[in-house]
């Protein structure tokens, strides 16, 4: 997704939509999905992808977040593991 009408001098910002299909979840999993959304809404940290909004549409919980151009943490962990390397603590 991309902002539809950005100002002419604005930097392009992309977003992702995480879809969680409720028909495939039991009650405990549904509760966990809502808790994830609430947790993300309350987090603000430079190393955590920014939450924008969430809503339910046609039986799906949609969580909108900023797009990580460099990939997510799982991608980088797998990449380092395949190279036999570890992250530095710096």
Where are the extended beta strands (E) located within 8-57?
15-21, 51-57
State the residue range of the domain holding 61.
15-83
Please tell me which residue, 49 or 82, carries the higher pLDDT value: 82
Determine, yes or no, domain membership for 9: no
Determine, yes or no, domain membership for 75: yes
Percent of the chain surpassing pLDDT 70: 92
Determine, yes or no, domain membership for 60: yes
* Mean pLDDT rounded to a whole number for the chain: 86
Determine, yes or no, domain membership for 89: no
Q: Is the pTM of this model over 0.75?
A: no
Burial of 10 (0-12, 13-18, 19+ CB in 10 A): exposed
Determine, yes or no, domain membership for 4: no
C-alpha Rg value of the chain to the nearest Å: 16
Domains held by the chain: number: 1
Confidence label for 70 from pLDDT (cuts 50, 70 and 90): confident
Nearest to 63 by CA among 71, 73, 53, 72: 53
pLDDT at 31 over 80: yes
For residues 38-66, average pLDDT: 91
Q: Quick check: helix, strand or coil at residue 41?
A: helix
Determine, yes or no, domain membership for 68: yes
Determine, yes or no, domain membership for 6: no
pLDDT at 1 over 80: no
Looking up residue 54, the CATH number of its domain turns out to be 3.30.200.20
């Amino acid at each position: 997704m991309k902002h539809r009408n950005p100002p002419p001098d604005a930097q392009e910002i992309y977003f992702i939509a995480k879809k969680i299909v409720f028909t495939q979840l039991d009650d405990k999993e549904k509760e966990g999905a809502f808790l994830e959304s609430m947790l993300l809404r309350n987090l603000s940290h430079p190393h955590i992808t920014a939450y924008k909004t969430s809503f339910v549409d046609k039986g799906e919980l949609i969580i909108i977040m900023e797009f990580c151009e460099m990939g997510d943490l799982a991608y980088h962990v797998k990449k380092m593991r395949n190279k036999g390397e570890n992250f530095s603590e710096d």
